[in-house]
Structure formats: structure tokens, C-alpha cells
Structure 1
Amino acid sequence: MENHGTIGRRDFLKAAALSSVAMGAAGMLASCAPGGEKGGSSATGSENIAWDKEATIVVAGSGTGAFAALAAKKLGAESVILLEKGTMWGGTAATSGGGMAIPLTDVAKAAGAEDSLEEVLKYFQNASEGRANPAVVESFATNGNDFLNWMLETMGWQCNPSPLFSDYYEPVEGWAPFGRASLGFAKDDGSTGAAFMWTELKAALEEAGVEIMMETPATQLVTDSSGAVIGVKATSGRDEIAIRADAVLLATGGFDHDDEMRAKHMPFKILATNAVATNTGDGHKMGMAIGADVSLMDSCWGAPAVLTTGQDPKELIETGTIAQEIAGTDWAMYRGLPGAVVVNRKGHRIGNEATAYDSFFRAFSYYDNGEMEHINIPSYLICDSACWNTYSMPGHTVGSMDGGYFDETYGSESSGDEVPSHFVVADTLEELAEKLGIDPEGLANEIARFNENAEQGIDPVYHRGEKHLDVATTGVMAGSRTDLANPCLAPLSTPPFYGAVYVPGTCGTGGGLTINENAQVMSAMGEPIPGLYAAGNCSSGVSGGRYVHGGISIGAGSVMGWVAVNHALGL
């Protein structure tokens, strides 16, 4: 990078594309620390424990939990142990774009953002329809800048807010076009994105003396007779180990890959996820086993996807299973391109295709009480050859939208005339409809109306391309075209036509153990459970179950992990 203090547009896109305290109780650790040399009680209060290890703080999960573990050691914890269930360091976070959403930061202010705590609180409440906890939002908003400045100084990274992936729930009151979302990180050598971040995080943890235990899932919280958490059990190889701790921070991710939990809590079928396979609700289950409250379990971070895996969506629905989808995940790269739409089996469009992934995902929830089913699951992505030959689609690489990142990540080595197996092609819309199982007449009529309006650059049904977010995200992905009346709209009129199955997916579930402003886990009776904290997708989070802007999962998890360790250490 020529200027080490800034990040160029391509690097912003790399960092933003995928994916962003009340302090006190200084005597808290003394009041809940385990007494005696060895021993204590399990969650049942009936078992003496022979401790295999001891630590000031144990962190379960190497995603955003990695920042918390590093902060704990740097802020004075005598010993810190980080447990990672899988073989993959960093979990889902390490596969993302690495962007963080943190409001009210010095770097955003320096870049020209104008914001206030009042506006942040207003936006979170309105975007979540009143489900966000104001005290937790305020803690997140008032501690985020301290965390970010500490991280930049500690890691030696640079950071700027991305102009893309801004607040997603436009135009609710409190919405802001710039400054809160998708902070992108870089090194002096130009490295950007999550891969370099979590590689360097691991090195920093090892240098700081944090003990990292890979392939060691936490399995059970250990409590004393008063109900305070005094440690955790884990499985390491074939052995069960018990680790005594002054505090335990759960950062174990969501429950995307637990079929039973999804069936129990999700309000409609989720057919795809790009979350790592180890996200099976472990932290949720451990917390609930000792009486923890849970919140927002019906929420997830919506990430619609072209189903590239070859699985039958009807079979996924019937069996209650989920596809591990990476290539087809649609971060506003496909559905909103000029010459593309998403329709249901009746041939009707289901929403504004240029909007953000989380808000578009909500269109799948519509229940047709005439058909008595979620008529939008599955839906279908359709485009004409003008779109197909101009833009990349999953498994089909054409040109470049941003210097190659999307093509390299989601495209394929082949291009040109080869059509990936997950797409069908037809000379007419009617033929395409027959191949995909869409009502031919319904599709033909819908596209005719759409085309007439698109020629004029308008979408009177869903207002596609009218919002700042539409133009600054999907419009930019499409190359900020000036030959169109609307950079997000073009007719579907040039045969042949292409179509693929399009399904509701996630990049993580969004509900979990209820936390307060200190990231303490709350009991079902509304009291903090001494010694237990949670952050990230195993917690209730900060945003009321809505993906309010790009990078909120990593941003909220990282900041609340910081809040947790500061509180646990009495700072």
C-alpha cells in the first residue's frame, strides 16, 4: 500500500464484502472465586472435581473470543486458556471478510462520519423493532472505541470505515449512511481480510502466553454450591479435563448445524449456512444446563444463497437438514445486478433484490395462507444473457467487479460458455419456468411488468435502486454503471435466460444466552450468574436479533468480549 494510513477501494471491498460498561464490581472475582485448593461442584452440585488445569480466565471459542483472550492477558490476567472445539482456528469469523461494525470510533470521525450515541440507540431500537436491550447497546457503543484503539495499537494494524455495507435498515430513524459499519483492517504490507487477522491473532496470543488448546471442546460448566461458575470441563482427545477458572467466557458461535435446535427455534426453514460445522449450540446448551436465560433464539444473520451443492431443497425441507454453502452465498453480489431478479414458484418477485442480505432474507418468511406454506422457500434467481455475460455468478467467472476478489472467492477457473450444473438455461422465460418448476404464465407476466419499469429505471413495487444502500452496495458491485437510468436495474430481455435455486441461508444464528451490559450471562430469574460471560453468536448480542449493518457479528462479539474481560478483571 502506498499510504499506510488508508485503505484503497479494492481493500475496502475485500474487508467489507463478506461480511464488523459499565465497568465496576472490582471485588467481583474475590466474591465468586472458588475456595479451597481442589474441589468444587459440578452443575448438579454433587460431584467433587479434581482440577487438571487452572486459569484466571477461560475463553471457549477462537472467533471473536480470540480478541477477548488476548485482551485478558494483556490487561493483567495471570493465566488465560483458550479452548477451540475444531481443527480450524478462528471458526466462522476467520472465513469472513474480517470487517467490524463499531459505532462512534475515532477512525470514523476522522474519516468524516457524524454520529452520536442518541442516534445509535435510536437506530438499534428501530431496526430491531424494539427487541434490542438499550443498556447493552449503550455498553457496546460506549466501549467500542476503547476496544478498537487498543486493538490497533496492540496488533499494529490500520483501519478505515468502508463506504460499502452501511446501516442495512434504511430508512428507519437513526439510520446513518457511513461510519458505523464494516471497518476494514490492513497491515503495512497491504494484507487485508480475516485470514491475515486471525493468523496474526494466533501469533500474538502465543507470544503473550495464552494457552491455546485446539480440538478441545468445552462440554460443561462447573459451579459451586451458590451457583457461581468456577470452571469448565472439556474433552481433549479421549480425555475429559477440568479447568478451574475465576471466570469463563463463552464465545462458541451459533447453532446453525444443530438440526434439532433450528427446528425448535427458527420460525421457518433455513436451508443453507456458511457457518463452520462446529457451530452446534454448545455454549447455549452449557449455559441453559445451569439455569441461564436465553433470548432472540428465533433470529439469525440472514445470508440468502444460490444452492450450488446440488441438494434438493424439498428434501432439505422435509428432512430438516441444512446445506453447507459457501460459493453461492449472496452478499448483494448476484440478485440485484442489472438484468437479474428473484422470484417464487408463482413467478412473483419476493422483494427489493438490491437491498442488504439480512433484510432481503426476511422476504422468505412470508406465509401464504392460501397455499398454506412459505411460498418463497425455495425461490429462484433468474437473469438474462446480457447479465450473464457481464457479471460473475456462482461458479461462472466473467470479468471482475472489484479487482478480482469476488471472482477468486466465489467464481471458478472456467468461464465463457460453460454453465455450472446448478444453473439451468433456456431460450425463453416459459421454457426456463418449466425447467425450474415456476408457473410459466406468472413468470412471463411478472417479467413483462418488471421490464417496462426497468427501462425507465424505476421499481414501483419494491423501490429497487432508490436507497443509498442499494446504489452504494449493489450498484457499486455492478460497476456503478452510467448507461442505465438506474445502476441497479435493467430489463431481462436478452435470451437465453439462466436460473438457479435460491434459498434462505445464514452466516450465523443470532440468539443465545441473555447478557447484560457487562456481558454477564443472566439467570432465568434475571440475575447475573457469577463468573460466567458470553459474547458473539452464542449470546443475545447487542442488536436485537437483526444484522443492523455490515460486520455487526464480529464487531459486537469482539467489543462485548472486551467488556467481559474488563469486568471480570475488575477494571
Structure 2
Amino acid sequence: MQELNYEAVVIGAGIAGLSTALRLSELRIRTVVLEKGTDDRYPCNTRIAGGAFHVAHRDVDDPPEVILEAISQRTRDTANPELVQALAGDIRAATAWLKAKGVRFIKVGHEIFRKHSLAPPINLNQDKYWEGRGGDVLIRTLTAELARNGGEVLLGARANGLVMNAGRCVGVDVLRQETPLRIHARAVVICDGGFQANPELVARYITTSPGKIRQRNSGSGTGDGLQMAMRAGAQVVGMSRFYGHVLAREAMDNDALSPFPIADFLCSAGIVVDASCRRIADEGRGGVYLVNAIAAQDDPLGTVAIFNEAVWTGPGREFISPANPQLPQKGATVYTAPTVSELAGKLDLDPQRLARTVSDYNEAVEQGKTETLAPPRTAERLKPYSLRQGPYFAVRLCAGMTYTMGGLAIDGHARVMGPNDQPIPGLYAAGCAAGGLEGGEHVAYLGGLTRSTVTALRAADHIAAWQRSPDVPPQ
């Protein structure tokens, strides 16, 4: 077996991995990045991301106290306090660091959370909407900067095990072009994303029917680093939730319907019912909450969005890739009928049950008592629409999974936590390989790109502190 020596090894070359490695190289830590993709166009979620830099839909330049309040509201104070403080306190400086490395941002649209979007913005009018744009350009920019600083990216290098010595992580075993390789290092940083593209792990933690979930991601997040760390005794947290969007059911077989357009706004303005015509969740919590509720159904392909013309011509036209008119244009079936009962007939649903569900919902909306519904319907974030007036519309749904929110438990320095609530010396995790911020009971979404950048820089700075004290082992 060939053996190499570095001061730090980073697993994964998305935004978290490249930011970690670039920061380490700046601090004169000899670093190598392992990327299982085999060429410089390797797939990763960063490359195909929408590109909005935000925290809980607040701008990265907002005061920390404003961001903290947004995180508190979104998570209902269930996230790791150390990580919350790090994200709110560091994100402005972290974004400025990216800018200094040549990453460009642009304001896209009127929403606060799009004031810092990766430039040039994605172009949803082309098949490879991401190519030469947004996250793709960020990957190329950080890779070039890393090379200029003497850092290395090994393509076609898949990590398959951590090298442990007396409870300390001291390296990685790698398979590169069918050749085994052992890399020794004082620190290993796991940055290979979530486990969304691993059906076995998705079945274990998220849904019993992973084959009925649409993967709206790069397909590269298979949880390799997660599993290696778990074998070494690492703790995990929040594994049951994921970030994604509601898609038309036809997206399961029609690539034109994934990753866009999304049906979130139709669902959150109308209602989402199962095959028994019962509402499945609080539509007022938004698309990320609803997509998790859909995935948790006994049949994740058995839900339907019910709405009317006011929703179709209102919220249906929102977002950069609106459901109206793109769903029917790209091959989704949008059912319509003058009455709820006739709509039910087209959907093979019980007309009386659906009419009763819609009627009860309308009464609660019109009386301002949606909290009395079962399940309750909140109205603070997203307005509920009365469905009293037809014509009526429906779209069959599926859950689109982008990345898993849970992962390795880390502390405020991105150190991976072991079985005794103590850091595993020499082992770190950043980005979507780490948990503790998003997900939880309330399915809090805070921002994948921003959490990745902050945790990456935190990991790199802590590793560099050891280098300044070479006689002190990693703690």
C-alpha cells in the first residue's frame, strides 16, 4: 500500500471541503483534498445549487442579533447553541472571505435572502442550468485559489476508512483508481455532504420507501464520511430530516420536472391530502416542512395538492420557476374541475370525503380559526387561501430530496463528538456532513451554503491553532 503524509486531509471537494482546504493552505498547513469524482466537472450539490447565501432567509450582512432571532424562530431553539452562535456571528466575515478569494455575488430578485446570490445567477431556461454559473463558478474559483496556495485535489480518490490510533484520528484509507492508499495526517475533515443518495441510509433514517423519493441533487452524497466516522464511534444528530421541495409526481420519471419547477407554493396556499382525503400536515409551515411530511407517508406518492384558480394564478406564479405555467408545460398533469366532487372523481378520491375536508378547511380560514383544524394550520408565515370559489385544481405530488439535514455531531470548532460527549481528537466535519443546526422536530432550514462555509472556516482555524503548537496533540 502506498503511503503519503500531509498535515491535514479533507474529504470532499464541495464548498465545505474547498473552503476548509483553502483556508488551511492560507495558514500554511499542508493539505490534500480527496474527491471521488474522476474529472474536474465532478458532480456535487454545490455545483448545482440555486446559489442564495442566507441564514434562515435573512441576508448575511444583517446584524448578528437579527440573524439569531431568525434562527430562533425557525428552529424554535432546538439547534446546537454553539453552532447557532457561530453561524450568526461568523457569516458576514465568512462571506467577505469568499469575496476576497474571487467569489462573486449578485442581488437576484426582491427577496431579502437573495441579496447575496452567487454570480452569475443560474439560468433555468437551459438543461444544465448551473453550468458556468453560481456554484459551478464558485467551485472553479476556489479550486484555482487552492492550487495557487499549494493545496492539492486528488480526483478519483474515494475515502473508505479512517485510520485510528488510541482513539485519535491520524489518517484516511483511500482507494484511488483501484489502488489502495493510506494518507497520514494530524487532522481529517469530513466534508462529503449528506447521505441523500444512499438508499439504505435513507431507508434507515428517513422513509421506508426510498424508491418513492425523487433525488433532486447531484447523486454524489452517499454518506461515506458519515459511516466511516460512525464506525470510529462518532455521534450523529438529527438524521430524520432533509432539505428539499415538493415536486409533481411525474418528476419520478420525467427529468424535466426536477429539480424545478416546485409545487411548494401551491401546497402552502391550498391543502395537501392523502388517499383518504385527510390533510397530512400544517401547510402554513412551508414547502420544506411539507416535503418531509410527504416522505413520511406510508405511500410517499399518494398525496395530492388541492387548490383553486385564485391560488393557481396567485402563489402559483411565484418563484423563479413558477408552477404556473411550467408544471403543465414540462409534462405534469394539472387536474381541473368546476366542483370539488368532480375533481375528486378525476383523482379517484372519495367525493364526499374530499368535499368535507375542503369545506371544513374553508370554514376555518374564513373564521380565522385555522389553528382548530386537525392538523392545525398556522397562518403567520404563509397566507391560507379560502377554497370556496372554483374552478378547482389538483396536482399529484412527490417528495424531492436535495440534502439530508442531520449528520455528525460537532462542537463550535467543528470537532466530531465521540461516544462520551468529548471530541474525537483529529476528526472534524463541516457542511452537510455535520448535523446540529438544521432539521429537528420543526424541520428548520437555515441555508446549506452558509452553514457549510462557516463550519469549514471554523474547522480550518482550529486545526491551524495546533500547527502553531506542534507539541500539543489535537484535542
**TM score, norm. by length of structure 2:** 0.78
Q: 1:234 to 1:511 in 2, by over 3 A?
A: same
Please give the secondary structure, in 2, of the residue aligned with 1:142.
helix
Whether the aligned pair in 2 keeps the contact of 1:55 and 1:243 (CA below 8 Å) is yes
Residue in structure 2 matched with residue 242 of structure 1 by the alignment: 182
Whether the aligned pair in 1 keeps the contact of 2:58 and 2:70 (CA below 8 Å) is no
Counterparts of residues 438-457 of structure 1 (less than 5 Å): 438-450=349-361
Residue in structure 1 matched with residue 473 of structure 2 by the alignment: none
- Are 1:287 and 2:229 an aligned pair? yes
Residue in structure 1 matched with residue 127 of structure 2 by the alignment: none
Whether the aligned pair in 1 keeps the contact of 2:26 and 2:149 (CA below 8 Å) is yes
Please give the secondary structure, in 1, of the residue aligned with 2:7.
strand
- Superposed displacement of residue 378, structure 1: 2.8
Counterparts of residues 168-207 of structure 1 (less than 5 Å): 184-187=116-119, 193-207=134-148
Letter in 2 for 1:59: V
Please give the secondary structure, in 1, of the residue aligned with 2:116.
strand
Residue in structure 2 matched with residue 480 of structure 1 by the alignment: none
Whether the aligned pair in 1 keeps the contact of 2:59 and 2:116 (CA below 8 Å) is no
Residue in structure 2 matched with residue 28 of structure 1 by the alignment: none
Residue in structure 2 matched with residue 70 of structure 1 by the alignment: 22
Letter in 2 for 1:347: C
- Superposed displacement of residue 311, structure 1: 6.0
- Are 1:460 and 2:412 an aligned pair? no
Q: 1:324 to 1:282 in 2, by over 3 A?
A: farther
Please give the secondary structure, in 1, of the residue aligned with 2:61.
helix
Please give the secondary structure, in 2, of the residue aligned with 1:108.
coil
CA distance in 1, matches of 2:240, 2:219: 20
Q: 1:533 to 1:526 in 2, by over 3 A?
A: same
Question: How many pairs does the alignment contain?
Answer: 449
Q: 1:376 to 1:348 in 2, by over 3 A?
A: farther
Please give the secondary structure, in 2, of the residue aligned with 1:155.
coil
Residue in structure 2 matched with residue 470 of structure 1 by the alignment: 382
Whether the aligned pair in 2 keeps the contact of 1:253 and 1:537 (CA below 8 Å) is yes
Residue in structure 2 matched with residue 558 of structure 1 by the alignment: 453
Counterparts of residues 91-490 of structure 1 (less than 5 Å): 91-102=44-55, 108-109=61-62, 115-116=64-65, 120=68, 124=71, 127-128=74-75, 131-155=78-102, 157-158=104-105, 164=111, 184-187=116-119, 193-224=134-165, 226-266=166-206, 269=209, 271-310=213-252, 326-327=258-259, 330=262, 332-336=264-268, 340-353=270-283, 355-361=285-291, 363-364=293-294, 374=298, 378-384=302-308, 390=313, 401=318, 405-406=320-321, 411=326, 415=329, 420=331, 422-424=333-335, 428-450=339-361, 460=370, 466-467=379-380, 469-470=381-382, 489=385
Unaligned ranges ≥5, structure 2: 123-131, 469-475
> Once the two structures are superposed, what CA deviation does each residue of 1:251-300 show, in whole Å capped at 9, x if it has no partner?
11112222222222226656233233222211111101222222222232
> Once the two structures are superposed, what CA deviation does each residue of 1:435-493 show, in whole Å capped at 9, x if it has no partner?
43322111123334555677x696735797943x426xxxxxxxxxxxxxxxx636474
- Superposed displacement of residue 250, structure 1: 0.5
- Superposed displacement of residue 333, structure 1: 3.9
Q: 1:90 to 1:99 in 2, by over 3 A?
A: farther
Unaligned ranges ≥5, structure 1: 1-48, 165-177, 313-322, 367-372, 394-399, 472-487
- Superposed displacement of residue 563, structure 1: 0.3
- Are 1:528 and 2:460 an aligned pair? no
- Are 1:57 and 2:57 an aligned pair? no
State the percentage of identical aligned residues.
22
CA distance in 1, matches of 2:281, 2:216: 23
- Superposed displacement of residue 105, structure 1: 9.9
Please give the secondary structure, in 1, of the residue aligned with 2:192.
coil
Larger strand fraction of residues: 2
Residue in structure 2 matched with residue 35 of structure 1 by the alignment: none
Letter in 2 for 1:538: A
Q: 1:253 to 1:188 in 2, by over 3 A?
A: closer
Please give the secondary structure, in 2, of the residue aligned with 1:305.
strand
CA distance in 1, matches of 2:249, 2:97: 40
CA distance in 1, matches of 2:99, 2:461: 18
RMSD over aligned Cα, in angstroms? Answer: 4.1
Residue in structure 2 matched with residue 80 of structure 1 by the alignment: 32
Residue in structure 1 matched with residue 462 of structure 2 by the alignment: 567
**TM score, norm. by length of structure 1:** 0.67
Whether the aligned pair in 2 keeps the contact of 1:82 and 1:212 (CA below 8 Å) is yes
Larger helix fraction of residues: 2
Letter in 1 for 2:215: T
